[in-house]
């Protein structure tokens, strides 16, 4: 008989002492009450009415009804042990049509923040998660420079009411999506397909970010101010092929450096400027803008879902950010024409996105080494999560094994980066609740908590229970 030695007990990997565990949502995706208490149309309300723009013609009119259920939702967060909650305020609720201040809208966020604080959950507020008032879009939207100034005005209004209780302020969520995907790709609201407009939108979003940082810093130097970017690792299929290397450079340029360079270095990357030449971008950037955009911040939010594996030669799959719309598609960035996505053969989520946790470690290391580290800026992973086709068992539970392993693998990837010296201060799973997944409507479920859209019942999935355990033990 052979005796096999007992397996070594695996040493638990612990998280740094002040590491914050949280979950994230966004106003339009969960609130509902889209036309209640003075709120008026945002670009998403209008986009959802365009035939074919959103799966099943879904919209955010009711969503998760969080506007009415926020107290129960906060109680649920507390039950799970969340230490922080990332949410966004809706511009159309706070200043409907981008105009007068709406006290009822502000009162909602004030009550939400009070509930969070009562439960000892740190509010992490995002000012813009894509829901521009439609009235401002009709004046040119983000392609109009004036929108950046209106954004600073709206931010000041939110700060007037919440500044005494909220420390963590994020200006923008994923400006890449709010500009290139929305104004060039046409896949997100406002659904425009106009290259110069998309480039101008990106610059004006960044300008708005800088103006808000300056305004809030002036009001309260102790605030923790930052921005959240959707960043990626772009790898060439064949690292010895010049065309593939250039494809990876262009994707890295549009997703990462187009936003990181102006914020941390006060300039746009030369190679990307060359890529987009001929679209009037040089006339959009005015003297002094880059100084405003590079106003020092305290926190960089990194949203990571998957990497890109790209080539100059046709691959197996198209970009999976494509919304299932009938409208003609075009690359959401002028310099990405002729870039092809290939499969790495990794497991995929219901979005057809690769599950690639090691990419997060590499990304965090790179961003820390080249940008946030030298600037002394902390990094938090402000979004990371996965949609799966969840199955509800007879007893109503959801044993979402894939999401559980996605979660633990990515938390492990963060610990790998921490071990390499990257000061990661927190993690927000996307998302707390199943919710309105933009052009995909309610078809894609990212939540650790299931939402039954008929009854609005909330059921923590196995991933929520696992996350709760990890938070309690502060270890994997
Ligand atoms: O649902 C979105 C979120 O609004 C922004 N980041 C990506 C998530 C998943 O697609």
How far away, in angstroms, is 240 Cα from ligand 1 center? 34
Answer whether residue 15 is part of any domain: no
Answer whether residue 321 is part of any domain: yes
User: Residue of the nearest CA to atom 4 in ligand 1?
Assistant: 26
pLDDT digits (tens, 9 = 90+) for 87-135: 999 999 999 999 999 999 999 999 999 999 999 999 999 999 999 999 9
* Residue 216, pLDDT above cutoff 80: yes
Domain total in the chain = 1
Answer whether residue 14 is part of any domain: no
pLDDT of 332: 72
Given pLDDT bands bounded at 50, 70 and 90, which one contains residue 6? low
Greater confidence (7 vs 432) lies with 432
Domain around 195:
20-473
* Residue 7, pLDDT above cutoff 60: no
* Residue 16, pLDDT above cutoff 80: yes
pLDDT of 415: 98
Long-range contact pairs involving 290-295 (C-beta distance under 8 Å, separation at least 24): 290/262, 290/266, 291/266, 292/207, 292/210, 292/211, 292/214, 293/206, 293/207, 293/209, 293/210, 293/262, 293/263, 293/266, 294/210, 294/262, 294/263, 294/264, 294/265, 294/266, 295/210, 295/213, 295/214, 295/217
**Atom of ligand 1 lying closest to residue 129 CA:** 4
How far away, in angstroms, is 4 Cα from ligand 1 center? 47
Answer whether residue 134 is part of any domain: yes
pLDDT digits (tens, 9 = 90+) for 132-179: 999 999 999 999 999 999 999 999 999 999 999 999 999 999 999 999
For residue 174 and ligand 1, the question of a CB distance below 6 A is answered with: yes
How far away, in angstroms, is 437 Cα from ligand 1 center? 7
Mean pLDDT value of segment 415-441? 98
User: Residue of the nearest CA to atom 2 in ligand 1?
Assistant: 437
Q: Which two tokens stand for residue 59?
A: 């919209």
pLDDT of 316: 57
- What value does the mean pLDDT of the chain take? 95
For residue 45 and ligand 1, the question of a CB distance below 6 A is answered with: no
pLDDT digits (tens, 9 = 90+) for 301-356: 999 999 999 999 987 544 444 444 444 345 677 778 889 999 999 999 999 999 99
**If phi over 0 gives left and psi between -120 and 50 gives alpha, with beta otherwise, what is residue 81?**
left
Beta bridge partners of 435: none
Answer whether residue 3 is part of any domain: no
pLDDT of 315: 77
Q: Is 36 a catalytic residue?
A: no
Given pLDDT bands bounded at 50, 70 and 90, which one contains residue 8? low
- Which CATH number belongs to the domain containing residue 361 in this structure? 3.20.20.80
Q: Is 187 a catalytic residue?
A: no
pLDDT digits (tens, 9 = 90+) for 229-266: 999 999 999 999 999 999 999 999 999 999 999 999 99
The string of DSSP letters for 120-146 reads: T-EEEEEEESS--BHHHHTTTGGGSTH
pLDDT digits (tens, 9 = 90+) for 59-76: 999 999 999 999 999 999
% of the chain exceeding 70 in pLDDT: 95
**Atom of ligand 1 lying closest to residue 446 CA:** 9
* Residue 9, pLDDT above cutoff 90: no
The model's pTM: 0.96
**Atom of ligand 1 lying closest to residue 387 CA:** 9
Give kind and range of the element (H or E) at residue 419: helix 401-419
pLDDT digits (tens, 9 = 90+) for 24-34: 999 999 999 99
Beta bridge partners of 226: 170, 299
9: which residues sit within 8 A by CB, 6+ positions away? none
Answer whether residue 10 is part of any domain: no
Answer whether residue 6 is part of any domain: no
């Amino acid at each position: 008989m052979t005796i096999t030695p007992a397996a070594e007990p695996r040493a638990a990997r612990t998280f740094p002492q002040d590491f914050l565990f949280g979950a994230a949502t966004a106003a339009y995706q969960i609130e509902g009450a889209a036309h209640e208490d003075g709120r008026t149309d945002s670009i998403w309300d209008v986009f959802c009415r365009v035939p074919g723009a959103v799966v099943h013609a879904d919209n955010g009119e009711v969503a998760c009804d969080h506007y009415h259920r926020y107290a129960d939702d906060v109680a649920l967060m507390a039950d799970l042990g969340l230490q922080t909650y990332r949410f966004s305020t809706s511009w159309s609720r706070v200043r409907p049509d981008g105009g007068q201040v709406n006290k009822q809208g502000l009162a909602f966020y004030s009550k939400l923040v009070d509930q969070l604080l009562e439960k000892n959950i740190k509010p992490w507020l995002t000012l813009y998660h894509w829901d521009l008032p439609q009235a401002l879009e009709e004046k040119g939207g983000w392609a109009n420079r004036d929108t950046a100034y209106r954004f600073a005005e709206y931010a000041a209004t939110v700060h007037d009411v919440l500044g005494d209780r909220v420390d963590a302020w994020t200006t923008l969520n994923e400006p890449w999506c709010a500009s290139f995907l929305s104004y060039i790709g046409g896949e997100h609201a406002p659904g425009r397909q106009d290259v110069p407009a998309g480039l101008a939108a990106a610059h004006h979003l960044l300008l708005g970010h800088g103006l808000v940082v300056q305004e809030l810093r002036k009001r309260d130097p102790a605030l923790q101010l930052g921005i959240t970017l959707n960043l990626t690792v772009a790898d060439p299929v064949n690292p010895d092929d010049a065309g593939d290397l250039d494809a990876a450079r262009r994707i890295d340029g549009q997703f990462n450096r187009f936003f990181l360079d102006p914020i941390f270095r006060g300039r746009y990357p030369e190679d990307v400027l060359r890529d987009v030449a001929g679209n009037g971008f040089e006339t959009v950037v005015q003297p002094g803008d880059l100084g405003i955009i590079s106003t020092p911040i305290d926190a960089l939010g990194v949203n990571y879902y998957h990497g890109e594996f790209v080539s100059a030669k046709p691959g197996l799959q198209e970009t999976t950010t494509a919304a299932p719309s009938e409208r003609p598609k075009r690359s959401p960035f002028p310099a990405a024409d002729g870039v092809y996505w290939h499969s790495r053969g990794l497991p995929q989520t219901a979005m057809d996105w690769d599950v690639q946790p090691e990419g997060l470690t590499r990304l965090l290391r790179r961003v820390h080494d080249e940008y946030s580290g030298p600037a002394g800026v902390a990094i938090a992973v402000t979004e990371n999560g996965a949609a799966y086709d969840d199955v509800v068992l007879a007893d109503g539970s959801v044993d979402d094994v894939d999401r559980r392993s996605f979660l633990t693998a990515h938390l492990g990837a963060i610990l790998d980066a921490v071990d390499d010296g990257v000061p990661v201060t927190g993690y927000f799973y996307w998302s707390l609740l199943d919710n309105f997944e933009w052009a995909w409507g309610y078809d894609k479920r990212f939540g650790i908590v299931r939402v039954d859209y008929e009854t609005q019942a909330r059921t923590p999935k196995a991933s929520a229970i696992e996350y709760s355990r990890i938070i309690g033990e502060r270890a994997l």
